[in-house]
């Protein structure tokens, strides 16, 4: 049996060897192909998906015309740090031309995105087109721009500033009741969307009450100094303030200035003249605690947090955010523990 099987085994072995020899060049070719492919893959640049750690954002901030604006800047830095985002802030000192220069600088630097808090609502088309052509998404913070420019930005994170004005007007109507009430108004910066909208909302609210009437309205440019100056002129024009029932200010900083003007004129703000304003900065809560102010509508300084979350989702997953991300507007009065509100806000950079 063994003698018979050995020749067959030898024949089969020789056949396998011949077949193996024929396959060797093919195996060598396959091996070289694998090596070459491996080398190619190793030498190819690895492009990881965008992450927050890689994102650089240029922020064209209006300036620091108010305590709220200063807090927005402080909170923006904090929110960026939480997400490991490199945030570059350019202070425009309340000038649109400075904001346009900053945006062009950010485009030249090749940042991943631009945040813009527009000082006015018009005049942005040319520079935002430049950002769009560079494929740099723009997100608006706190303020909007003219509707014609809506295709030039990714999203806007703002409050409903018309609603803020309505909340202020509704509170005043309820506080006054049926009593005749002459109101003086401290407007924000002329041409700013937030000033236009806060006026519109307030006017809409008081139009439902024939006893409420705005007798004087002038810009205080969102600053304490200007608010004080304009309120002084209102007091002189209205018989030493005796004919003024209430002051409505588009922001708290102007109201703080107005309160000072009233006190210097021998009036008791919060009693002789009612006050309602918007932003909910720490100093207005101090005034409410002291009985020198009556009401404020909160504008959160945290616009950057929602904006950064929307941007990161857009960069990482291509998720398109809604065109408008709305923040909350809450009314505070003396019944809402103003001291607690002050304590919670005083460290935010106002």
- C-alpha 69/C-alpha 92 separation (Å) is 12
- The string of DSSP letters for 48-90 reads PPP-GGG-EEEEEE---SSHHHHHHHHHHHHHHHHTT-EEEEE
Q: Is residue 104 packed enough to be buried (19+ CB in 10 Å), middle (13-18) or exposed (0-12)?
A: middle
Q: Is residue 211 packed enough to be buried (19+ CB in 10 Å), middle (13-18) or exposed (0-12)?
A: middle
DSSP label at residue 115: E
Distances (CA, A) of 72 to 59, 117, 147, 161: 11, 10, 24, 16
Q: Is residue 287 packed enough to be buried (19+ CB in 10 Å), middle (13-18) or exposed (0-12)?
A: buried
- C-alpha 226/C-alpha 239 separation (Å) is 21
Chain centre to alpha carbon of residue 124: 17
pLDDT of residue 39: 36
Structure-token pair, residue 130:
């430049």
Residue where the block lists tokens 């893959």: 41
Q: List the beta strands (DSSP E) in 188-236.
A: 212-219
| Confidence (pTM) | 0.78
- C-alpha 181/C-alpha 178 separation (Å) is 9
- What pLDDT digit, counting tens, does each position of 169-224 carry? 999 999 999 999 999 999 999 999 999 999 999 999 999 999 999 999 999 999 99
Give the count of beta carbons closer than 10 Å to the beta carbon of residue 245: 19
- What pLDDT digit, counting tens, does each position of 295-324 carry? 999 999 999 999 999 999 999 999 999 999
Residue ranges in the chain modelled with pLDDT below 70: 1-53
pLDDT of residue 349: 86
Which residues lie closer than 8 Å to 240 by C-beta, 6 or more apart? 265, 266, 267
- The string of DSSP letters for 141-171 reads ES----GGGGGGSSEEEE--HHHHHHHHHHH
- C-alpha 278/C-alpha 198 separation (Å) is 9
């Amino acid at each position: 049996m063994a003698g018979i099987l050995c020749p067959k085994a030898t024949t089969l072995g020789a056949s396998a060897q011949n077949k193996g020899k024929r396959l060797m060049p093919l195996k060598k070719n396959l091996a070289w192909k694998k090596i070459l492919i491996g080398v190619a893959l190793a030498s190819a640049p690895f492009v990881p998906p965008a992450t927050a750690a890689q994102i650089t954002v240029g922020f064209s901030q209006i300036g620091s015309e108010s305590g709220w604006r200063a807090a927005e800047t402080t909170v923006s830095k904090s929110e960026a740090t939480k997400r490991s985002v490199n945030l570059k802030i350019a202070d425009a000192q309340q000038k649109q031309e400075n904001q346009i220069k900053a945006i062009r600088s950010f485009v030249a630097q090749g940042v991943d995105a631009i945040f813009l808090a527009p000082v006015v609502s018009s005049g942005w088309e040319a520079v935002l087109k430049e950002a769009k052509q560079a494929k740099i998404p723009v997100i608006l913070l706190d303020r909007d721009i003219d509707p014609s420019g809506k295709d030039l930005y990714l999203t806007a994170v703002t409050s409903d500033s018309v609603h803020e004005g309505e909340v202020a007007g509704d509170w005043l109507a309820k506080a006054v009741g049926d009593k005749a009430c002459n109101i003086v108004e401290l407007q924000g910066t002329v041409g700013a969307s937030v000033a236009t909208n806060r006026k519109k909302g307030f006017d809409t609210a008081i139009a439902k009450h024939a006893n409420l009437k705005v007798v004087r309205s002038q810009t205080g440019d969102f600053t304490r100094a200007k608010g004080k100056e304009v309120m002084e002129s209102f007091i002189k024009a209205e018989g030493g303030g005796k004919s003024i029932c209430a002051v409505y200010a588009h922001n708290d900083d102007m109201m703080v200035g107005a309160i000072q003007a009233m006190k210097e004129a021998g009036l008791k703000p919060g009693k002789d003249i009612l006050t309602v304003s918007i932003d909910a900065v720490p100093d207005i809560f101090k005034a409410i605690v002291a009985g020198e102010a009556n009401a404020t509508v909160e504008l959160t300084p945290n616009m950057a947090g929602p904006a950064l979350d929307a941007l990161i989702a857009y960069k990482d997953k291509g998720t398109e955010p809604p065109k408008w991300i709305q923040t909350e507007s809450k009314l505070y009065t003396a019944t809402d523990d103003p001291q607690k509100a002050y304590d919670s806000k005083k460290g935010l950079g106002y």
